[in-house]
Structure 1
Amino acid sequence: MMKGSVSVNSPRIRAVTNWVFLRAAGGAQRPRIMSPEQFFPEARRLEARFPALKAEVEELLLRREIPRYGTFDPVRAAQVSEDWKLYYAYMFGQPNELARTELPTLLEFAESTPNVVNAFVSILEPGVPLPSHRDPYAGVLRYHLGIRVPTVKPPRIRLEDEYYTWKEGEGVVLDVNHEHEVTNESDQSRIIVIVDFHRPLGFLAGLLNRYMLRKKRKWAPQFVEASRYDVMHAA
């Protein structure tokens, strides 16, 4: 299994490729918060199965403890949040085989949708912030689907000067290569499903993106194996 952080490796190459991708996507004028119908219409299939997906996520949380970001990518976690909890069902095209029984709806969607890169569950517990940052790789857009969202002081995400508040069963597409932060001032956890997918680009930039994402597959075991680790059973 790889050691280190996919988020900080090869910084010079990443800076060049990010420049290419963002220029092809419209530069600083590219949108921050987008409609899935326009940018990720495939999400309709996942949203149509929302009751099953929500039930599987709830059952997963009852059965096991979800690993914290700091346990499998401590370098990047130190920059964002060591306490952000993540369960990867699919990472750079590699499935978490346990997800075939634990999150079959999400894994089936990821494996049957060619432009999906990653698919995972994201848990932000009360009082845990994700301070201002940008995602390190610009070749993907990020789809969020609310699974469990507190109704009192509901958490929200800020992208530059725009805000989005999650809602259960509602999807949204975000360009998290814009500067953004998340706050959860409620007394309950915010739980969402996240799907990363290929950013729409021109032909040449799209080829470069697919090549770079294939090279990143070597990092997948570090994330998938962490999601397999059952802290509750190991304790």
Structure 2
Amino acid sequence: MSDTGAPSPVDINSPALRTLAGADPARALTILKRALELQPDNLGAWLNYAGLLRASGDSEAALDALNHALGVEPRSFHALLMKGSIFDRQGNMPKAGRTYALALLFAPPIEQLDPPTQTALARAQAVYETYLSDFNREVWSAVDAKSGREGARDRQRVNRFLDIISGKKPSYPQKPTDYYFPGLPPIEFFDDEMFPWMDAFEGYFPDILAELQAELDRGAKTFAPYVQLPMDAPVDQWKLLNHSDTWSSLAMKSNGRVVEENAPRFPKTLEALALLPQPVVPNRSPVAIFSALKPRTKIPPHHGVSNTRMVVHLPLIVPNHCGFRVGSETREWKPGKAWVFDDTIEHEAWNDSDQLRVILIADIWNPYLTDYEREMYAAILGAVDAFHNEAVAYSEAI
């Protein structure tokens, strides 16, 4: 005990106090209350005090004590778990579910918890899953009741909003590595109807595939590692792919120009690319490449350079067990079916097959940029390069 007669923080959590709480809970409550008057920021005391109040059946007082505990530490797992358990006992499933959600967010590894807390955590998980199911059913029913002739495409953004607020899917913002242009919407995959050239572009699929296959039959010696960062650079997630032919590319357009040494072998590919509204930014864009991913290779999550341009994929050779994720949406490539996505939203790709995967990749202007904004963007980046007296290799069309 301290000189004031109140227990110290060590005393509050001592075996003696726990024994007293079991034999004389009223006395233990008095001791804890006095300690909290002197030490209002003592998280352990608030948790013990709330636990005793809950055990005594005074749920409202226990909730008040837990709110004080969360005032000391808003991320307190034990306070959130106990608070959720009180709502759970009261049958208030919406509050229990939302409170348990926070407890689960801040839960330590399960092996660090004692058996009773592990049991409480399992209960929290079960209640939270029921809460999510009930929440989704209620909200989706309200949307369905209000919807008329709208189809899935009309409701795409509404459905995405519901997924986010229900916790079914997270929200992924645009995070360009270099150039963020404000006011452009973050769209994971764009609707094909936004691009009148899409059908004609996909119509070139057989010719492009034939040109690619002829190149592969020659040994694919023209493909080079896609990631070629300096060996002394902090390569982070690119360590396994840097200067590796497990992910390689063959350029049709690079640094704003057609790659002349490759052009004669790919006339139809270049003819198809001419249909696209590719950005014209001197020394930077347009860009178009064949991207080859060897078996059992993964491209880690990453972000593109600028949200002023989007990326087109035309799958050419796609074995089973290949996939692609942009934000919260995962898709499988289908040979001949192109799509447009925002690569400044976190995305990743993988080839879990035993065969090579190859797609044609190209950049296009973001359809939400005006003609004036496109012109100014190109002029600004031209000025940036002129100031630094260098041409920037703009190869992040992934």
Task: Mark yes or no: TM-score above 0.5.
Answer: yes
Instruction: Quote the Cα distance in structure 1 between the aligned partners of 2:183 and 2:275.
Output: 27
1:107 equivalenced with 2:264 (yes/no): no
Change (3 A) 1:76 1:122: farther
Instruction: Quote the Cα distance in structure 2 between the aligned partners of 1:190 and 1:102.
Output: 20
Cα-to-partner distance string for 1:119-141 (whole Å, 9 max, x where unaligned):
11011111111111101222210
Q: What does residue 231 of structure 1 align with? A: none
Q: What are the equivalent positions in structure 2 for 1:154-165 lying under 5 Å apart?
A: 155-165=322-332
Instruction: Quote the Cα distance in structure 1 between the aligned partners of 2:361 and 2:235.
Output: 17
CA displacement at 1:78 relative to structure 2? 6.0
1:36 to 168, 181, 192: 192
2:293 to 124, 132, 137: 124
Cα-to-partner distance string for 1:83-115 (whole Å, 9 max, x where unaligned):
321111012430111232222122233356453
Instruction: Quote the Cα distance in structure 2 between the aligned partners of 1:157 and 1:135.
Output: 15
Instruction: Quote the Cα distance in structure 1 between the aligned partners of 2:237 and 2:254.
Output: 21
Q: Note if contact 1:122-1:193 (Cα within 8 Å) is conserved in structure 2.
A: yes
2:370 to 202, 213, 229: 202
Cα-to-partner distance string for 1:38-65 (whole Å, 9 max, x where unaligned):
1x33233321121111000111112232
1:145 equivalenced with 2:314 (yes/no): yes
Q: What does residue 67 of structure 1 align with? A: 224
Higher relative contact order structure (alpha carbons within 8 Å, sequence separation ≥ 6): 1
Q: What does residue 50 of structure 1 align with? A: 205
Q: Secondary structure at the match of 1:109?
A: helix
- Which of the two has greater strand per residue? 1
Q: Which amino acid aligns with 1:61?
A: L
Instruction: Quote the Cα distance in structure 1 between the aligned partners of 2:373 and 2:276.
Output: 20
204-213 vs 183-192, greater mean Cα deviation: 204-213
* Aligned residues with identical type, % of pairs: 26
Q: What does residue 181 of structure 1 align with? A: 348
Q: Which amino acid aligns with 1:109?
A: A
Change (3 A) 1:202 1:34: same
Q: Which amino acid aligns with 1:164?
A: R
Cα-to-partner distance string for 1:135-177 (whole Å, 9 max, x where unaligned):
12222100101100003x2x11111211111010000011110
1:94 equivalenced with 2:262 (yes/no): no
Q: Secondary structure at the match of 1:34?
A: coil
Instruction: Quote the Cα distance in structure 1 between the aligned partners of 2:211 and 2:355.
Output: 19
Q: Which amino acid aligns with 1:56?
A: E
How many residues align? The count is: 199
- Which of the two has greater helix per residue? 2
Aligned residues: CA RMSD: 2.7
Q: Note if contact 1:70-1:78 (Cα within 8 Å) is conserved in structure 2.
A: no
Q: Which amino acid aligns with 1:48?
A: G
Q: What does residue 183 of structure 2 align with? A: 24
Q: Note if contact 2:204-2:272 (Cα within 8 Å) is conserved in structure 1.
A: no
Change (3 A) 1:72 1:132: closer
Q: Which runs of 5+ in 1 are unaligned?
A: 1-13, 224-235
Instruction: Quote the Cα distance in structure 2 between the aligned partners of 1:208 and 1:37.
Output: 27
Change (3 A) 1:67 1:214: same
137-146 vs 200-209, greater mean Cα deviation: 200-209
Q: Which amino acid aligns with 1:140?
A: R
Instruction: Quote the Cα distance in structure 2 between the aligned partners of 1:204 and 1:41.
Output: 21
Q: Note if contact 1:107-1:119 (Cα within 8 Å) is conserved in structure 2.
A: no
What TM-score comes out, normalization by structure 1 length?
Answer: 0.73
Q: Which of structures 1 and 2 has the bigger CA Rg? A: 2
Change (3 A) 1:34 1:104: same
Change (3 A) 1:163 1:101: same
Q: Note if contact 1:46-1:109 (Cα within 8 Å) is conserved in structure 2.
A: yes
Change (3 A) 1:166 1:78: same
109-118 vs 121-130, greater mean Cα deviation: 109-118
